[in-house]
Chains A and B, each alone.
Chain A
Amino acid sequence: MHPELREFGAGYLRTQRKDWMSDLGFAAQLADDLSPEDLRMVLSVFGADVERLTAALSGAAQAGDAAAFQRAAHGLAGAAGAVGAVALERACRAAMAGEGAIPAAMTEIAAISRVALGDLARILAGLDAPA
């Protein structure tokens, strides 16, 4: 692994809040397992998934379409689980299990997603920074 990326990963793990990527051990593992190019690609895809699926969740919630909401929540939970974003995954799975009303679940998921996307942007910017 590129030493700059390892440094970045370690610094990131020390400083980030636990509301996104609260499974920090796994996030470090991702940085170890993937090349910088692959890590950037996976995180970029994750960002796109979060934007697409939160929009789908929002649309389903507004339409009162429980089935579509479930499908989008399942997708987002899977994406979050894959990169170790445990808080987001947990919120999505709670929504899928019907814990609380859809609007309230939507509000929570949207909030966590916004934080996640902000953090993700910073990580990607760090990856792109010159060594």
Chain B
Amino acid sequence: MSEVVARVLVVEDTPTQAQLARALLVGLGHQVEVAESAGAALVAAREWRPDAILLDLELPDYNGMELMLRMRAEGIAASVIVVTANASINAAVEAMRAGAVDFIVKPYAKARLAVTLANALEKRSLVAQLATVKARLDRDQFFGFLGASAPMQAAYRTIESVAASKASVFITGESGTGKELAAEAVHRASPRVGRNFVALNCGAIPRDLLESEVFGHVRGAFTGASADREGAAKLADGGTLFLDEIGEMPLEMQVKLLRFVQTGTFSPVGSSRVERVDVRFVCATNRDPMLEVQAGRFREDLYYRLYVVPVELPPLRARGEDVLLIARHFLSQFAREERRAFAGFSPAAEQSLAQYSWPGNVRQLQNVMRNIVVLHDGDRVELDMIPRTVRRGAADEEKALGELAFAEVGRAEVGRTEAGRSENGRSENGRSENGRAELVTAARVVRPAAPAGEEDVAEIVPLAVMERRLILAALRQTGQDVPRAAALLEINPSTIYRKLQTWRVDGKLPAG
């Protein structure tokens, strides 16, 4: 019996052949239907969706070739094996040109039928796998990520490849590129998906508490430790431990983490009890980890333990069309949430978004889209709805691009004068193209400059005072609408609520 149970449609109008084929196929463990005409076969193929079809070419209504054409037109993807007599092998070859995967000559033994069918099914499976892989290569979404650009496809492939193993993953990328999302993707694509994903931001936890957060503590381990508490390592047992901003981890803690990574064992703070866990490590930093090692801020031995499979998340400015893809996604999401009519962007708005360098990456784009949707409404986003920072940044970059292009043209002109007229102008064109590629790269990393003259007129006051003034001004301007004020300031509404509460407590605001 073959290993794969398949649905096989036998298309045969001679009962002896049909029953023999049925008996052999059932004996091989397959499910079988018989159609005695091409028309009946088409109906069965449409409704029963067989994996393979054993097809006699000579049929009472129309022939097997015509049947194959009709099935293909309907998108029926069964593997067709043509059954033929010695005398009609030429017809079988012709049928293979028309899409049949193989042919089998009558009379055939069970073993021959089994091999031919297994080959056909394997080929079909490979074709299906190829289609899946192709679809993955073209995908624009991956475990919460949006983006179809080549650098993101590379990141998706790496995540997918490493997910099944236990190898440590080291994610690098600028702030806002989605490092935690990538860590979650590693976990969700892995066999550990049924267990915990525990994320710890090493930069956000006070140094004194970090060891306890990672390894837990026992009651009385330190002042305030009133009960035993499990740490991230224990919680992540069987799952994934994500150490974000690993570069911020103090060196003395790095020693303890190294021991944990090497042995899989740790002791909670205040305890001599050794615990063993099965944890997959995923780390992230927005710094260059090797530079941190060279600067002595990150232990080299820990680096080599954790930097096993690197995943580099590209900055948004390197992701081409992804900017607009993501912008459209957020526009649609926020318009739905805020009950706005926005359905797209004007060409000028699109151009502005596409040209900006997005130093804050996807997070910044998300905030900008929220800002636009909260403050405006209409069928489409117009250029003047885009925050000035972005418009100005895009314009600056366009200007920089233009200046560089102008300079490049100048250089090309000089080159042409110096080199004289070259063959068909090819060398000038080559230089110009190369120069453009360079200047595009250079221009992409330009950051939005401060508005001209703004520094000159600004009153110098403590930052906290300026922060309070700005937030209160935004609230006044929006009629005390916190979400809109937050959108204007490109911060979370919760930040404003928290600040207001603090100022009230400090008496810097009237209560209520």
Please report A residues at the B interface, Cβ cutoff 8 Å.
Answer: 23, 26, 29-30, 32-35, 38, 41-42, 45-46, 48-49, 71, 74-75, 77-79, 81-84, 89, 93
Instruction: Return B382 CB to nearest CB of chain A, in Å.
Output: 73
* CB contacts between A and B, total, < 8 Å: 68
Contacts of A71 in B (CB 8 A): 60
The contact of B24 among A34, A78, A84, A93, by CB within 8 Å, is A34
**Contacts known (A77-B85, A93-B87); A34 close to B27, Cβ less than 8 A:** yes
Per DSSP, chain A at the interface is helix
The contact of A48 among B15, B56, B58, B106, by CB within 8 Å, is B15
Instruction: Return A109 CB to nearest CB of chain B, in Å.
Output: 16
Instruction: Return A119 CB to nearest CB of chain B, in Å.
Output: 15
Contacts of A84 in B (CB 8 A): 107
The contact of B16 among A29, A35, A46, A93, by CB within 8 Å, is A46
Instruction: Return B19 CB to nearest CB of chain A, in Å.
Output: 5
The contact of A82 among B14, B27, B58, by CB within 8 Å, is B14
Assuming A23-B107, A74-B58, A75-B14, what are 12 further A-B pairs, CB within 8 angstroms?
A29-B109, A33-B109, A33-B110, A34-B23, A38-B23, A45-B15, A45-B19, A77-B85, A79-B15, A81-B85, A81-B106, A89-B85
Residue B432 is within 8 A (CB to CB) of chain A in the complex:
no
The contact of B15 among A30, A35, A49, A77, by CB within 8 Å, is A49
Give 5 nearest A-B pairs by CB, closest first.
A79-B16, A33-B110, A38-B23, A78-B14, A82-B17
Determine the distance from Cα of A78 to Cα of B13 in the docked complex, in whole angstroms. 9
With both beta carbons as reference points, the residue of chain A lying nearest to B105 in the complex is identified as A81
Determine the distance from Cα of A77 to Cα of B19 in the docked complex, in whole angstroms. 16
With both beta carbons as reference points, the residue of chain A lying nearest to B17 in the complex is identified as A82
Q: How many residues of B contact A (CB 8 A)?
A: 19
**Contacts known (A42-B20, A93-B85); A79 close to B27, Cβ less than 8 A:** no
Contacts of A78 in B (CB 8 A): 14, 16-17, 56, 58, 85, 106
Q: Mind listing 6 A-B residue pairs with CB under 8 Å?
A: A35-B23, A45-B15, A46-B16, A77-B85, A82-B106, A93-B87
With both beta carbons as reference points, the residue of chain B lying nearest to A90 in the complex is identified as B87
Please report B residues at the A interface, Cβ cutoff 8 Å.
Answer: 13-17, 19-20, 23-24, 27, 56, 58, 60, 85, 87, 106-107, 109-110
Determine the distance from Cα of A65 to Cα of B27 in the docked complex, in whole angstroms. 40
Q: Is B23's CB under 8 angstroms from A79's CB?
A: no
Determine the distance from Cα of A41 to Cα of B16 in the docked complex, in whole angstroms. 9
Determine the distance from Cα of A34 to Cα of B426 in the docked complex, in whole angstroms. 75
Q: Is A45's CB under 8 angstroms from B16's CB?
A: yes
Contacts of B13 in A (CB 8 A): 75
Q: Is A83's CB under 8 angstroms from B23's CB?
A: no
With both beta carbons as reference points, the residue of chain B lying nearest to A75 in the complex is identified as B14
Contacts of A38 in B (CB 8 A): 23, 27
Q: Is A42's CB under 8 angstroms from B56's CB?
A: no
Q: Is B16's CB under 8 angstroms from A82's CB?
A: yes
Q: Is B85's CB under 8 angstroms from A42's CB?
A: no
**Contacts known (A74-B58, A81-B107, A83-B107); A33 close to B27, Cβ less than 8 A:** yes
Determine the distance from Cα of A81 to Cα of B27 in the docked complex, in whole angstroms. 20
Determine the distance from Cα of A131 to Cα of B87 in the docked complex, in whole angstroms. 40
Contacts of B110 in A (CB 8 A): 29, 32-34
Contacts of A23 in B (CB 8 A): 107
**Contacts known (A46-B16, A75-B13, A93-B87); A41 close to B23, Cβ less than 8 A:** yes
With both beta carbons as reference points, the residue of chain A lying nearest to B88 in the complex is identified as A93
Q: Is B107's CB under 8 angstroms from A26's CB?
A: yes
Contacts of A42 in B (CB 8 A): 16, 19-20, 23
With both beta carbons as reference points, the residue of chain B lying nearest to A44 in the complex is identified as B19
Contacts of A75 in B (CB 8 A): 13-14
Determine the distance from Cα of A45 to Cα of B16 in the docked complex, in whole angstroms. 5
Instruction: Return A108 CB to nearest CB of chain B, in Å.
Output: 18
Q: Is A82's CB under 8 angstroms from B87's CB?
A: no
